[in-house]
Amino acid sequence: MDKPITVLVLCTGNSARSVLAECLINDLGGGRWKAYSAGSRPTGTVNPLSIEVLKEKGHSVAGLRSKSWDEFGLPDAPKMDLVITVCDNAAGEVCPVWPGHPSKVHIGFPDPADAEGSHEERLAVFREVYGMIEAKIRRLIALGPDRAGEV
């Protein structure tokens, strides 16, 4: 098998959207894609509602953590083929220079962490955003990394 396409999904807090996208790419990519996620200002924890939605959709949550994008600029970090920003804040920030000079694309989604209301109301928002991300990730995988801008 060829080397998988490596993807870094970025958001500001690395607690919701980027983590959801990481899991979706890894699971839907069928071993041909390998995703990581990080944030410019990570919260330090993955949002519990992200974990809840991922589990109910059948994803493994083992090893998920909120981490800084600085980890992926280190010399021993995996070399990325594609960097995806999923929140408007991260898209507008000055990103580190990534080893290997990967392609970059912005695919924005609303922040489910901003949802208010009861647990069920907030969970419904996380499910909705998960569905939006899933649709875009399925399209990305179908098109391939060279056509990521068409997603």
Catalytic residue annotation: 11, 87, 95
What stretches of the chain show up as alpha helix (H) in DSSP?
17-28, 48-56, 88-92, 119-143
Pick the closest to residue 141 from 69, 13, 34, 49 (CA basis): 34
Check if the beta carbon of residue 141 is closer than 8 Å to that of residue 25.
yes
